[in-house]
Structure 1
Amino acid sequence: MPLPEEFAQGLRRAGWLAGLPALALIWAGATLFATPQIADALDAAGARVASGTATAAGEPWLRLEARGRDLAAEGEAPDVGERETVLAKLAALDGPRRIVSEIGLVETAAPFLWAAIRTGSARVALEGSRPAQIGRQALEARITGALAPGTALDDTARAARGAPPDFASAAAFLAARLSGLAKGGRAALSDTVLSLSGEALDVPAYEALRTALANPPAGFSVGRIEIVPPAVAQFRFSVAKSARGIVLDGFAPSAADREAALRAAAEAVPGGSVQDRLLTARGLDPAIDPKTLIGFAFRLAELIQSGTVTFADDSVSVTGDAIDAQAIPDAAALMREARPAGVKPGPVTLAARPLSPYRVAIRRTPEAVTLTGHLPDDATRERVLAALRPRLFREPVIDRTRLADGAPPDLGAALAAAAPLVANLAAGEVAVSDRALTLTGESLYREAASRTPERLAEVLPPGWTGRAAVTARQPAETRDPAACRAEAGAAIAGTSLRFPTGSATLGPAFYPVLDALAALAKACPTLRIAVSAPADPAKAKPAQGVGGTAGE
């Protein structure tokens, strides 16, 4: 039965549309089958051209990539002529629809910059310039060998001239440092200066970085280092003190804070040992100033013979043996009144024990006389001060002693006997440890220096041992009489040195002039200095001052 005319016309109109799906399937199959073959053919044809661009390093500078029927060319040609020659050879190939040129030229980089950046846990990007004389693959192999196994490289560095000698060693050194940095870590080179930035993965990695950067490759120096220390869950800091010295343990927020702690420890035990067990790490409450915390810890440490000052869980505590009974309330007062902001008070667990050894010292300098250490009572302190003050003209006496039990017998007598000897020195010190007294320093006069050991032995109480090591100051160089007269005149010029009526007491204005004349007299043995005053102040003219002449 024949189809109606309208229905037949509809089938004829839709017939070509019904064939489209079949055509699409045929086209897709042909594309999927043909494209890989086209790409393989392009790669093979391009490889022959690329192999002809091999450099002295043995690697072709031309790199090709098939992108469908297009051929992308990359690399750095030695010059414009060779680039044009290569592009012409590629254009002559049968198969590529078009040649996409991304070929640059080898230029001189000044400064020569290169960087490696950690972009993932197992991925590193290279950028900047690489030496033209080193093949890309050879340099990548050197860098990959310095990275953790399995690390992939994304290398966009371009060949350039101007690289420093032994660039590959420096690049490998920097790449190896990335293993200790988190994502975003950057290791860079600018000519011969190395730099590093990023966050350390953990405390051991941070310490390893510090150690490695202390020994850069030969011919290279370390420039800007911005390594953020790792964060720790429990930040702690401690100062342990004993007769052997100080041990620092725990963490410091930065390298500068660590150095500050080491300086404070060295000052706390002059000549003693300092063991540094500190590690650099973050985790201290931002409200707490690290240097203030360190200073406070050492103020507490001054009050203990042996023991530990500990900062942990945002609080400070101190335990051990106090330097004396007075130190226990002093430590409590410090904890109450001088604690840094943000720090909580911890326990003060101190015991007062007799000091052993018992130490006290008298130090003489041109500026002052200072007493340090311990004395048994106020009476002993006054006895020592009374022995010192009459022998000093203008130097102040600074008393920094504390009271404590455990003093050896006759300590006051020994110090009072040695006080005149140290006061007569130009500079020196009397140091007592139990019943042993040592006198060291420098005398202005050779004869006085040679007599000091004998005099010390004569004045010490029975049962005490003494040792004196006093040297004579070297005499000044002798000058000629004319120079002596000129300097003497300059020393007294413009001065008005007058004794009060009926008195021979020296006033403060006398000392600078007398010091200058005394120093001059050493270099001018023929200089005659006269001090005169009228016999009868009521009738005579105003008194003359200090004068000087020099003769043969």
Structure 2
Amino acid sequence: MTSPTSSSAFRNRVGWLAGLPVLALLWAAATLATAPIVADALRVGSAAIVRETGRGEPEPWLRIEAEGRDLLALGEAPDSASREAALGRLASIPGLRRVGDRTGLIETASPFVWTATRTRADQVETGGNRPAEVGAAALAARLAAALPPETDLRDRARAARGGPAGFMEGASYLVARLGGFAPGAVASLSDTTLSIRGEALDPAAYAAGQDAPPQGFGLGAIEILPPRVDDFRFVVERRPDGGLTLGGNVVSEAARAEALKMAGIVLANTGMQAGVDDAMRTARGLDPAIDPAALTKAALRLAGLIREGSVRFERGNLSVSGTALDEEAVGEAEAALRDARPAGIGAGTVSLEVRPVSPYTTRIRRDSGSVTLSGYLPDRAARESLNAALRLRFLREAIVDRSRLSSGARPGLVAALTATLGPLSTLASGEIAVTGRTMQLGGESLYAESARRTGEDLRRAVPPGWESTVAVTTRDAAPAYDAPTCARLFSERLAGHTLRFAPGSSELKPDFYPVLDAVAELVKACRAERVEVIGHLDPPGAKPPKPETLPEAKAEKDKADKAKADKAKTSSKEKTTGNDKAPGKVAEAGKAADNTKADKAKPAPTPTEPPPPAKDPDPSPDLAGARAAAIVDYLLKAGVASGRALAAQGSAPLNDRQGIGLALRS
């Protein structure tokens, strides 16, 4: 049987336990009721402390993030005392449970690096360093203006010294470009170098990533993946003016540059003067089985077969439409799509209209080392005939045939072109162009007289019923000066220049050439003047020049020495052979040798005749005359007409200090 005391104790315990949930509910209600009050008190108290850290600064260095009764301190203090004071005041706020410390001290950063990362589609987070003189709130406001709407900016950068001038402009430039990139894109500033890495969401964002940076900054690594497109297209438009417009997509900037280069070659080969317009956009999405360069080359090859229209690569097929270049072009386009498509590309349609060629033009152009035939010819026989005539006339040049076949030529075209090859061959460079029955010869001649004769020769060569025009210029045509101007310019050319040969030499020194070239050009311009040259002597005591062995003389001497050596070798061989075959002769030879030795042992006879007198040494060469002749020879080779550069007659040579004498005479 249970005692009364035990029953009472049990009831007390049960009652206490039953009251615990009630107490918990009361505590929770009190907490919920007081939590906002505590949080507000923490915010108010911490805000006051934050404001005080901004005294004398553009804005407070301390930043606070609150979570319930916990506070997180951020920012960089100017010194340790300020930092400890701020943390101590935060810790004393009533109701605070814990202070997280992520503060630091302002230091000098080198290199100064700041980064911005697109962490989500609606969020950008900054890190690294920001200049201490740029407040966090001011930077956030500037960057928010460069971001798309509804994008959250989280600033995790730390204040530091050493930031570049114009930091705000550089950071805004980077953040503005991140707005068009997929999550994971990173933009960075390292001192004055800006870099971007990531994937562009659209062509506009990709193009913006290539924009020039703000003044004072340069671009570093720009690693931007182009956007992906579902239908990769490439288009070549042939405009009415003959130029090309490249549009659609291209896989990279390198591929863009190569496409523009290829288009320029196509225009040059077809003789078009119009340019190339770039409307391409970089993108991904081309079938990996297709070579981008091969696709571009195939499309441009087709574009070279049309006068107006387009070549399109769409949905994996290549097609061409418009006006054909000529009758040949239709068949060539069909063959190209049938037999010469790059791997992975399908054959589209050929829709080309053939129109009469107008104007019907044929050109023959002569340049250094080549002669190029372009334009139109009536048939293959005409092409072969004209090529044969070109090979006979221009033996040293390469013949480049870029002609096309089309009807509509004037009768006698080949004969008329062949007749003009003579006048064209006299030009240093030039071109004969035939349109209808009109021939135009233009180019450059080396000499004025030759240019005049070229015009006369063309007029005589043109068949009856054909018209001709000539526009030939003369290379380096010298101006004409009057006598006073010539005298003044001549003095100016020679002022400060003394032409002095090395002792014993008549070879020109390298420093003579600029002076003599200037004199030659002036004499050509002074058409009523001539230049006279006086040589100079060597200084007293200089050794006479050592006679030089000419190459021809040296060769003759070497030949004679070789013949002498061969003869001696042959003689020795004959003696050896004779000893073997005739022993009796050996004894005779030995006896003769003994007699020779005896003769040598005898004293020399007394001469009965006096020795011949010694020859006088050769007179010194006319070194001054040779030097004057060398100067005259150089002037003549430089283009001075014969008779207008000569050695002065009857003038005494000048001395070494005076050097070569040059005088302008009327």
Q: TM-score range by the shorter chain?
A: 0.7 to 0.9
> Considering only CA atoms, is the larger Rg found in Structure 1 or Structure 2?
2
Aligned residue type for 1:231: R
For 1:346, what is the secondary structure of its paired residue? strand
Query: What corresponds to 1:229 in structure 2?
Result: 226
Q: Deviations over 1:125-156 (max 9, x none)?
A: 12221111011111111111122233221111
Q: Deviations over 1:455-477 (max 9, x none)?
A: 3233223444433333333499x
TM-fit CA distance, 1:250: 2.2
Give yes or no for the alignment of 1:423 onto 2:425: yes
| 8 Å contact from structure 2 (residues 393, 421) kept in 1 | no
Query: What corresponds to 2:200 in structure 1?
Result: 200
Counterpart CA distance in 2 for 1:483 and 1:383 is: 52
Query: What corresponds to 1:181 in structure 2?
Result: 181
| 8 Å contact from structure 1 (residues 116, 127) kept in 2 | yes
Q: Deviations over 1:317-336 (max 9, x none)?
A: 12233333333332222222
Counterpart CA distance in 2 for 1:171 and 1:56 is: 26
Percent sequence identity is 48
Query: What corresponds to 2:380 in structure 1?
Result: 378
For 2:141, what is the secondary structure of its paired residue? helix
TM-fit CA distance, 1:67: 4.4
For 2:414, what is the secondary structure of its paired residue? helix
Q: Deviations over 1:4-51 (max 9, x none)?
A: 887666545544433322232233223323333333333333333222
Change (3 A) 1:482 1:363: farther
Could you tell which deviates more after superposition, 267-276 or 337-346?
267-276
Counterpart CA distance in 2 for 1:262 and 1:293 is: 13
Gaps of 5+ in 2: 479-498, 514-547, 556-633, 643-666
Q: State TM-score, norm by structure 2.
A: 0.67
Query: What corresponds to 1:154 in structure 2?
Result: 154
TM-fit CA distance, 1:77: 0.7
Aligned residue type for 1:373: G
Counterpart CA distance in 1 for 2:352 and 2:98 is: 87
For 1:326, what is the secondary structure of its paired residue? helix
Could you tell which deviates more after superposition, 363-372 or 61-70?
61-70
Aligned residue type for 2:73: A
Change (3 A) 1:374 1:175: same
Q: Deviations over 1:216-250 (max 9, x none)?
A: 32212233223322223322222222441223232
Counterpart CA distance in 2 for 1:71 and 1:278 is: 54
Change (3 A) 1:241 1:137: same
Counterpart CA distance in 1 for 2:424 and 2:136 is: 75
Q: Deviations over 1:322-380 (max 9, x none)?
A: 33333333222222222111001112233444321222222223322222222112343
Query: Which has more strand, going by share of residues?
Result: 1
Query: What corresponds to 2:446 in structure 1?
Result: 444
Aligned residue type for 1:183: P
TM-fit CA distance, 1:522: 4.1
Give yes or no for the alignment of 1:240 onto 2:242: no
Counterpart CA distance in 2 for 1:72 and 1:419 is: 92
For 1:356, what is the secondary structure of its paired residue? coil
Query: What corresponds to 1:258 in structure 2?
Result: 256
Could you tell which deviates more after superposition, 287-296 or 77-86?
77-86
Counterpart CA distance in 2 for 1:74 and 1:249 is: 52
RMSD: 3.5
Q: Deviations over 1:481-514 (max 9, x none)?
A: 8459xx9x9xx99xx9xxxxxxxxxxxxxxxxxx
| 8 Å contact from structure 2 (residues 363, 431) kept in 1 | yes
Counterpart CA distance in 2 for 1:63 and 1:307 is: 65
Gaps of 5+ in 1: 497-518, 528-552
Query: What corresponds to 1:501 in structure 2?
Result: none
Counterpart CA distance in 2 for 1:385 and 1:342 is: 39
| 8 Å contact from structure 1 (residues 116, 175) kept in 2 | yes
Counterpart CA distance in 2 for 1:53 and 1:129 is: 20
Aligned residue type for 1:357: P
Written as runs of structure 1 = structure 2, the 5 A alignment for 1:318-397 is 318-397=320-399
Query: What corresponds to 1:74 in structure 2?
Result: 74
Q: 2:265 aligns with which of 243, 267, 273?
A: 267
Query: What corresponds to 1:27 in structure 2?
Result: 27
Query: What corresponds to 1:523 in structure 2?
Result: 638
Change (3 A) 1:154 1:384: same
TM-fit CA distance, 1:448: 0.9
TM-fit CA distance, 1:70: 4.2
Q: State TM-score, norm by structure 1.
A: 0.80
For 2:424, what is the secondary structure of its paired residue? helix
For 2:470, what is the secondary structure of its paired residue? strand
Aligned residue type for 2:251: P
TM-fit CA distance, 1:403: 2.2
Written as runs of structure 1 = structure 2, the 5 A alignment for 1:394-409 is 394-409=396-411
Counterpart CA distance in 2 for 1:520 and 1:403 is: 52
Query: What corresponds to 1:461 in structure 2?
Result: 463
Counterpart CA distance in 2 for 1:385 and 1:43 is: 95
| 8 Å contact from structure 2 (residues 175, 187) kept in 1 | yes
For 1:401, what is the secondary structure of its paired residue? strand
Q: 2:214 aligns with which of 217, 221, 224?
A: 217
Change (3 A) 1:242 1:173: closer
Counterpart CA distance in 2 for 1:426 and 1:449 is: 10
Aligned residues: 496
Give yes or no for the alignment of 1:412 onto 2:414: yes
